[in-house]
Each structure stands twice: as C-alpha cells, then as structure tokens.
Structure 1
C-alpha cells in the first residue's frame, strides 16, 4: 500500500489522514511531499514506512508542552506533549524534520518532538528539534516519581523493551533531550545542545504565557521529589553554569541502553566550555556509552553528571566513552578529517569516578551488541 501526501494533488493533504487510512495489519509506505505540516501525529501500525521529501524540505511541526493547562485543570505533562508518536510493531521514518516548537523548557516545561514506542523503530536522515525532552526512546521507567507524571499513551501498559536505530540523524535540545529506557543505537548522528544562556527564542519557536518564578524557572518546576532528588523538569545550576544534559537514560543494567557511534557531539554556538554533560541517569541502572565520537570543548570535564548534582555518586549505572576525538573548530572539516596531526583524543582524567573506564575490548563487545540491534531493526 503506497500513499502520497501533498499540500495539493496527493491522495491526502495531511499526514495524519494518510496514517488513519492504513489498516493496522497492512504494510504501508507513506510519502510526504514538501512543506511544513502543522500536525500532531499518532501512528500505531504493524509495519509502516513514512518518507519525506528531504530533511530540509518536509517538516512536521507542533507546539504542545508539559505546563499547558488542559480542560480538566490538569497539566498536559511530558508524555502528552509529543509532536509525533510512533507505536505499533515496526516503524521506519526517513528524510524529514520533526519539531516541537513550544520553546524554552524553563517556561513551557518538557516538549517532546518524537515519542518512539514501536517494538522496532528506524529513523534515517531525520532532524529532531526541540528544547527539553526532544526525543523519548520508550519504554517508561517501571514507576513514576511524581503522581500522574506518566500521563500519556503508555501510562497503564506493561513496560516492554524496544529496539531503536538512528542513522544520520540530527538531534538538538538541551535538558535530557534524548531520554528513555530503549536499547537505542545512534550511528553517524549530529547531536547539538542548545545554548540556553544566550539563544533566546530559537527560530520557529512559539513562546507561551506560562508564569515564571523570579529565579527564572517555570512555576511547575520548583522543589525536589520525596526522595530528595531533583525532579526531572529541573536543572541544577548551583555548582556552575550548565547548558544541558544530552541524555537521560533509564534502562536496566542487563540491557544495552544508549550507544552512540561515530557521532558528532557539540554545544551550539555560544555555549560556554564545559557546560554540556553527555548525560545523567534518570534511573539508577541507566546505561549510556559513546564510542569513537567527535566532541568539542563545550563537553564538561566530568563527562556525565549525577542526578541532582554534578558529583553525585551513581555507582549502579554504566556510563563511559571510548576513542573520543576532540574537535578543533579552528580548521575546516576536511582538514580535520585528513590531517592526522590535528586529531587528538579527549583527556578523560577529570571524569566522575563512577564513570566506567572502557578499553578497546569492552568497546568492541558493546559495539557487537549494538550491531545486533541494528540487524534486527534495519532489516
């Protein structure tokens, strides 16, 4: 089954209409033409492929956000804020941008662009744009820390491990903007942390009238959880300036977790050196590794932060990196690639003590496990 979506002249003029036309059990391919489609997508099919006209030519955009007050007086919450939800058994998305344009999380709270929840999720040449919580790689943790914190499509369902593969994708955000409990592999991706101190309202963002406290945080995000740990919608700036956390994993210790390979990791222009963390654990057994990636000077010397404090101990996690190359922004990309004397490995001597030392053998084992995920997902 092949469906064409176009602003004019296609089988449908809206992406959601096309998705709705596909029977659950029928394999389908939806081609989406050029333009910006202001839609909130919900896709739950057995086997579906959605292909845009190009990463810069097809844009899915919406602006729901966590602090929005619903008709019943409750807040929308993180997991109902998505621009695009992908569930079901198998989904493949290619050649488009998916954006949540709600704006700065300090005002609007979390605002998810992509909620990836299919058993097998494959994203290739997809740009995902947001601020706080851009990409959610399901499943949710087993238990919530805040009452009604998981309101959304999967709040009452049994948690199941999903397998996800991201190839040549571009992902931007700031606070915990790649998060969740999936086994997820990121190959050859560009990951950029926003400059929260100087960026203001980024192009395409809509700023909403949510009350902000004198300290600069949204009214909903004050205080700590019952266990004394910071709630997920907060960022700890008491120790020093923090622009953001790239990941916030919650997978179990026997899972693969998040694996980034040959990716380019950086802060946006203007980010202070040492102000971006590679991640912090959303739950105690979180796993995230970076293998043979290129990073710049905005990445903090501690590399990963604890949850609720930079130096907080997280002994049950599995965090680490291997073969990280320091990007030299004074030379062109071609020169960086071709000139061996420009390439230097990052000094990891300042990393937090609970961050793992990953040697070549362990890196190979982790990469082999990642290859198994890729083999299953990108068939």
Structure 2
C-alpha cells in the first residue's frame, strides 16, 4: 500500500526525529524542531513560542488552543501511527460557566480556534469532551471541537469528536469567503455537528451521526452560507453512517444566525454513500425557516438512505458540472489542496 506524505514526511513512519520545518532532518537544516510532548507540555505553548510546523507526540493534550490571525501558515502534525494516537481536547460547552463571568457561549466553547490563514493539520484527533450526562444543569450544550474562521485551511486524516456543534466551519464576517478542505477525515456528532458559513469541502470523509436516543436523532449540517457566496458545504465521495434507527436523522437544516435573512445555507452531497439513518425527507426546517428556501441538493448518491423522493432535490448533470471540488476551492488564487495529496 502506498504511503501518503504530508509536508514531505511519510505518514507511515512519522517520528519526532523525522520532522524539522516540515521536511526530513538534514545536517544543514536550520529551522527549529518544535515537538509537543518533548519541548513543550501543551500545544498552545508551542504555538505561542512561534512554532511553524508543530509535531505532537502520542498522548492526550488538554486545554484550549488558539491559532491567532497574526500566525499564518501554522501546521500541526500528529506523530503517531494513527489519528487516534494524538488527541487535542477541551471540555467546555456553551453553558459552561466562564471564570470571567457569564458562560462561554458556542464560539467560546471551541477546543481549537483557527484564525491564522493557511493552517494545516494532519494525522490527529480534535475533540470536545463535554459530558452532557454529567451536567444536566447545563442546557446550552453546544460544544465545539474545532472552529475555523481563516481562509485556506486544510485537514487530512483528522478526527473531529463531539456531540452538538462538533465542527464550526465559519468565516471572519458574513460576506468574507473562508475556504476549508477536509480529506480522509472522520466527523462525529449529533445536532448540527457540521455548521457555519465557510466554503468547506469534505472529500472522501466519513460523517457519523451518533444515536442520542430521540426522534429526530439529529441533523448532520446547519449551513449559514451568505447569499453572496456561491459555495457553502460540499461533500464528495463521503460515507454517511450511524447507529441510529432508520429515518431518524436529517442531512441538514438551514441556520440563520440572529435571524439573518441573507444566510441562505448551502449543503451539496454528491457521489456519496448514505446509510438508512437518513429518511426519505432528508432535510428539515429550522424554526420558521424552511429548508426548501435553502440551497440543498444531492447528486448520484447511493445506499439505503439515498432513496429517491420528491423531498430530495437533485442536481442536474449541468449543475453538477459546476458544483465540484475545484469550483469550491480554487478562488482567484487557484488554491488546490486536493492536488497536493
């Protein structure tokens, strides 16, 4: 089996000694080695110290991580054999008390916040470990594992774990385009667990809906794409899986933050496998906002949850030719992270 590389390092045999500035170590290398679990105790310490390519030794690292906007080009690479070997996590929810007063809110709950453009992560896990059952007193349970607001961010072989609002793919402002690319990733959650207004492409990912023991059992996406942005969420060649009963999960619902009428969310799912947890009516209203007014569509999906239905809008072949991975990502700068793998 062919080994993939990331920043010039074989993912089949990444070690702390093999990583320096994103390239294999050489006698003349000048860029410093930055390795969490050896040089630093936490990921945030490595970020604050100015690490550009941060290796992380196997283990679980607790604590909030922020990649600020004045730190473009940061990369975090898990040095284990599998994404499960390195876990970066926190456990705040929207309603968790904030020592500074009030509560953290959804944005503040994020275990990892990415504001630095060009951020990359590979071969690790990001999690929000907030325990809903242990905190019945907290009713606002949105608990974000990763919040992205920067442009040109990419994740490969990364797991995102949480319950409600696991992955917040957003932008710095409603009309600002921020592109994010997810390749060979795993995203897990239950309610609106992929949400926001970013232009986000999920390429060959597994999207797993948890069984929360209710009906509806949850919603996969909650896009809030601004009407000025032609590209919201695209899932291409993905697998939508769940242990939830058949027909109890929706593919998405339209999120209008602060009742913004210009948030005409887009989710497109194409050439993917959808299991039976998705019913014949795949999309749901969000309060008074009708899903029929959003930009929801499918194309050539398969599986028991992809059965044809009048309530399942489909792209025409002509439309599908325009709704592709390159169309979502390229922009005016011809960004092509999908070609570099």
TM-score by length of 1: 0.72
Cα distance in 2 for residues equivalent to 1:111 and 1:120: 24
Deviation of 1:72 (Å): 5.0
User: Who is 2:33 aligned against?
Assistant: 3
User: Who is 1:93 aligned against?
Assistant: 121
- Map 1:208-223 to 2 at 5 A: none
User: Who is 1:274 aligned against?
Assistant: 247
User: Who is 1:219 aligned against?
Assistant: none
Deviation of 1:73 (Å): 4.1
Which runs of 4 or more aligned residues in structure 1 lie more than 6 Å from their structure 2 counterparts after TM superposition? Answer: none
- Map 1:218-237 to 2 at 5 A: none
Please state if 1:51 is matched with 2:77: yes
User: Who is 2:236 aligned against?
Assistant: 261
- Where structure 1 has 5 or more consecutive residues not aligned to the other structure, the ranges are 143-158, 198-236, 328-344
Deviation of 1:68 (Å): 1.1
CA contact (8 A) 1:94 1:124 kept: yes
User: Who is 1:31 aligned against?
Assistant: 55
Cα distance in 2 for residues equivalent to 1:127 and 1:91: 16
Please state if 1:303 is matched with 2:282: yes
CA contact (8 A) 2:329 2:336 kept: no
Secondary structure in structure 1 of the residue aligned to 2:313:
coil
- Structure 1 residues 369-378 or 66-75, which shifts more? 369-378
Secondary structure in structure 2 of the residue aligned to 1:47:
coil
Count of matched residue pairs: 291
Cα distance in 2 for residues equivalent to 1:259 and 1:375: 18
Relative to structure 1, the CA distance from residue 116 to residue 186 in structure 2 (aligned partners, 3 Å threshold; closer, same or farther) is same
Secondary structure in structure 2 of the residue aligned to 1:96:
strand
Secondary structure in structure 2 of the residue aligned to 1:195:
coil
CA contact (8 A) 2:118 2:150 kept: yes
Cα distance in 1 for residues equivalent to 2:207 and 2:316: 24
CA contact (8 A) 2:127 2:162 kept: yes
CA contact (8 A) 1:104 1:132 kept: no
Deviation of 1:13 (Å): 2.5
Cα distance in 2 for residues equivalent to 1:297 and 1:350: 17
Cα distance in 1 for residues equivalent to 2:313 and 2:276: 21
Please state if 1:168 is matched with 2:184: yes
- Structure 1 residues 363-372 or 293-302, which shifts more? 363-372
Return the match for 2:296 from 302, 319, 322. Answer: 319
Deviation of 1:371 (Å): 5.2
Secondary structure in structure 2 of the residue aligned to 1:366:
coil
**Larger RCO: 1 or 2 (CA < 8 Å, sep 6+):** 1
Relative to structure 1, the CA distance from residue 58 to residue 72 in structure 2 (aligned partners, 3 Å threshold; closer, same or farther) is closer
Query: What does the per-residue CA deviation read over 1:278-327, in whole Å, with 9 as the maximum and x for residues that have no partner?
Result: 11000241111001000111012111111127xx6344311010111105
- Map 1:80-229 to 2 at 5 A: 80-104=108-132, 107=139, 109-139=141-171, 142=174, 160-197=176-213
Deviation of 1:249 (Å): 0.4
Secondary structure in structure 1 of the residue aligned to 2:160:
strand
Secondary structure in structure 2 of the residue aligned to 1:272:
coil
Return the match for 1:42 from 58, 66, 72. Answer: 66
Cα distance in 2 for residues equivalent to 1:179 and 1:91: 19
Please state if 1:288 is matched with 2:288: no
Cα distance in 1 for residues equivalent to 2:115 and 2:41: 22
CA contact (8 A) 1:40 1:84 kept: yes
Cα distance in 1 for residues equivalent to 2:192 and 2:323: 23
Please state if 1:360 is matched with 2:337: no
- Where structure 2 has 5 or more consecutive residues not aligned to the other structure, the ranges are 1-30, 257-262
CA contact (8 A) 2:194 2:220 kept: yes
User: Who is 1:245 aligned against?
Assistant: 219
Deviation of 1:40 (Å): 1.1
